[in-house]
Amino acid sequence: MSEKNEFFLSRWFKRAFHGSDQEIRNIMEEEQVETPFRTIAKNFFAKHTVRVGLTGFILVFLLVLIGPRFWVLDLSEQDSSLVNLPPGNNMMSIPSALRGKIRDIAAGRTYGVAVDTDGKLFTWGHTKITDKIDIANIPDEVRNADLVMFAAGDDHVTAMDENRQLYVWGNTRLQQGNFTNEMKKGMKNPDESWDIIQLEASNQFSAALSSDGTLYLWGNSNLADIKLRKQYQGNIAKVALTSNEYICLLKDGTVAYTGYKDKGSVFAEIPEVLNNTRVVDIAATSSTVAAVTADGRVVVWGNAKNGEKNIPEFSAPAKNIYGGRFHYVAWLENGEVLAWGSNKYHQTDVPASLHKNGNIKEIFTGNFQNYAVMNDGSVVTWGLKGFLLGTDGLGRDMLTRIVNGGRITMTVGAISVVIAAFIGIVLGGLAGYFGGTTDLVIMRIAEIVGGLPFIPFAMILSAVIGSRLDPTQRMYLIMVVLGVLSWTGMCRLVRAQILAQREMEYVTAARAMGIRESSIVFRHILPNIMSLVLVSLTLDFATCMLTESTLSYLGFGIPLPTPTWGNLLQGANNSIVIQQYWWQWVFPAAIFGFCTICINMIGDGLRDAVDPKSAER
């Protein structure tokens, strides 16, 4: 009687895997008889394809389930400087030949350029700007020149050689290489007024500063403010470039916005704290600028969206400051290095080994990469190494989107299967059990719904109802639409099975024992057809995932920017993406194809195990 008190599910479970109660099992053991569920399980796991499919699916499932914790999805994420990057992990791999001989490093957007003490040039990282332009294709005149100074912009590199000649290579289509007349004059006749002490490059424009305080700016004037107010010329000690403006440190120790935007620029509002102190160093991120005062404090102003203003406590006065795209690195007088700002690509995670390795000689900061050259010649790097699966057309990490997209695709697939199964089992049960008019009506409805062209109908529902919903509601809508349109198969299966089972002896026996009808259907018949329902569920799950992704691919499923495996491929329907950015469609397609194949393998194996007759086919 103790069994009666157990919860019915656990009793089912026991029966499924341990057979019935102990006594009976002992008799069975002698006769080597198995419970049907055991036979199913044995047949199921005996198949090679099932084991492969199950392992594969569990791996993908775990990745999708646990992955989003590590690769957190940010829907508003986009970065124009990281678009269409191929898979790679080499953005900070400095060639070993450079070890101990670094003269200058220029860290650009996704690449690095360096010159060693022999004047030899090195490039690393993702240097291809477009399919034609490659930073690594260094022009011969530059290769032959003995370079002393470097600056790397978003898509071009500026360099100066010993004879004070300037070179620009990379993307020069937008006037990045158009020197001004004064500069040409200076290069032709390099006297004291052409003594370049600082080279800077940013988004399609560059700056060169001469020791007499003359600032030369050149590049794409449509994008950047590259004019200088006359009264400042000859008075400039240092320049810092943001993504399309710049700011100057004057020789008298004040900071000035010297461009022509004047009050229109956020950088023109120089904080009052700086009025009474001398500034010793300046730096800029893409949208903020920072200044270090003589007493070692750091002041940041501008449009700080990534925590550039969250300056940490300094253990000593700051000496120098360097700006990345969204972060700052400060070098303190006691040799410590601190970083703050956006830490999305670990660009502010200064490695602990940095302070153990001895003294820092120089620090170079690129968009997301940091290089600290130590006194012993070694280089410590931290920041963005690269993207394992590349980035998409908006600079978003493909891996993050694939992992999170998988979660959404699987959730939608699973929930719509559950909805479909619920409707199918209930209606199929009703039709099979009651028969007659109920059966007729339900089967006619099933026929109509099943006969509708699925994809067009789902598109229409999504377009008409979905137009007034927000993205989250639209996701629920897709689940419901898929569920409501795909229950007919399950309904027919359940009805047919119930009709067949009703004639079985055990039902007759149950009836003879006077068990209630509802109890017969749900406690006797349903568990018997559960295995077939399970098979159908597995195969339907794959189908629902396919349908969801097809809808998303056509643009009528889950709307962007929410990723799903389907709408990740939506962007791939474009000849440029297919030709040049293979990683944007190969990886989502591969994982999705793999996943559906695994599920179908499991489903097929399950069907063969449940219905041995089908295995003979």
Partner 1 sequence: MGKYILKRCGYIVLVFLILSFLMYALYNLIPSDPARQELEPMRHSLKANEYEALYRQTRQQMGLDDPLIIRYLRWMGMWRDTDGTCNGVLQGNFGYSNFYKNSVIEVIKAPMGNTIFINIFSTILSLGITIPLGIYCAVHKGKRFDGAMQVVTMLGYSIPVYIIALVLMFLFCVVWRIFPIMGTKTPGMTYANKWQEFADMLYHIALPVIVMTIGSLGGMTRYVRSSMIDALSMDYIRTARAKGLKEKVVIYSHAWRNALLPVITSILGWFLSIFSGSVIIENTFSLNGMGRLYWQGLNNLDFELVLAIQMFYSIVSLVGSLLIDISYGFVDPRVRVDK
* Contact by Cβ (8 Å): 549, 409: yes
DSSP 8-state assignment for residue 523: I
Preceding amide of 456 cis, omega within 30:
no
CB neighbour class for 508 (10 Å; exposed up to 12, middle 13-18, buried from 19):
exposed
| Sign of the torsion formed by the C-alpha atoms of 541, 41, 530 and 10 | negative
Instruction: Kindly indicate which of the ranges 156-164, 187-195, 409-417, 443-451 contains the residues binding partner 1, using the contact rule CB under 8 A.
Output: 443-451
Query: Mapping DSSP to helix (H, G, I), strand (E, B) and coil, where does residue 363 land?
Result: strand
Residue 617 interacting with partner 1 (CB under 8 A): yes
Q: Is the peptide bond before 561 cis (omega within 30 degrees of 0)?
A: yes
Rounded to the nearest whole angstrom, what is the least distance from the CB of residue 40 to partner 1 in the complex? Answer: 20
Strands 156-161 and 166-170 come out as antiparallel
- For partner 1, give the closer residue by CB, 534 or 586: 586
Contact between 616 and partner 1 (CB under 8 A)? Answer: yes
Q: How far apart are CA 385 and CA 107, in angstroms?
A: 12
Q: Quick check: helix, strand or coil at residue 123?
A: strand
Q: In this structure, what token pair is assigned to residue 590?
A: 């591969």
Amino acid found at 97:
A
Between 327 and 492, name the residue whose CB sits nearer to partner 1.
492
Q: Which one of 70, 260, 422, 457 is in contact with partner 1 (CB under 8 A)?
A: 457
Q: Are 355 and 338 in contact (CB under 8 A)?
A: no
Nearer to partner 1 among residue 143 and residue 444 (C-beta): 444
DSSP state of 232: G
Binding mask 115-154 for partner 1 (x = CB under 8 A): ----------------------------------------
**Side chain identity at residue 143, one-letter code:** R
The reply on whether position 293 binds partner 1 by CB under 8 A is: no
Nearer to partner 1, 444 or 516 (CB): 444
Task: Figure out which of the listed residues 592, 602, 605, 609 binds partner 1, where binding follows CB under 8 A.
Answer: 592
Q: Report residue 541 as tokens.
A: 């799950």
Angle (CA) 412-414-415 rounded to 5° is 65
CA distances from 219 to 168, 207, 222, 248, 266 (A): 10, 9, 9, 18, 22
Residue 575 in the binding site for partner 1 (CB under 8 A): yes
Q: Is 358 in the site for partner 1 (CB under 8 A)?
A: no
> Which part of the chain contacts partner 1 (CB under 8 A), choosing from 26-34, 102-110, 199-207, 595-603?
595-603
What's the one-letter identity of residue 8? F
Nearer to partner 1, 258 or 600 (CB): 600
Site for partner 1 in 240-259 (CB under 8 A): none
Measured from the CB atom, the residue of 155 and 540 that comes closer to partner 1 is 540
Pairing of strands 111-116, 121-125: antiparallel
Of 223, 455, 484, 530, the residue at the interface with partner 1 (CB under 8 A) is 455
Q: At its nearest, how many Å lie between partner 1 and the CB of residue 552? A: 11
Number of residues lying near partner 1 (CB under 8 A):
45
Residues 541-560 that bind partner 1 (CB under 8 A): 542, 546, 549-550, 553-556
Q: Is 309 exposed, middle or buried (CB count within 10 Å of its CB: 0-12, 13-18, 19+)? A: middle
User: Is there binding between residue 461 and partner 1 (CB under 8 A)?
Assistant: yes
Least distance (Å) from partner 1 to the CB of residue 530? 24
From the list 322, 331, 581, 585, which residue makes contact with partner 1 (rule: CB under 8 A)?
A: 585
Per-residue mark of binding to partner 1, 463-502 (x: CB under 8 A): xxx-xx----------------------------------
Query: 70 vs 399, 465, 565, CA distance in Å?
Result: 11, 35, 19
Q: Residue numbers of the site for partner 1 (CB under 8 A)?
A: 444, 447-448, 451-453, 455-457, 459-461, 463-465, 467-468, 542, 546, 549-550, 553-556, 569, 572-573, 575, 578-579, 582, 585, 589, 592-593, 596-597, 599-601, 604, 614, 616-617
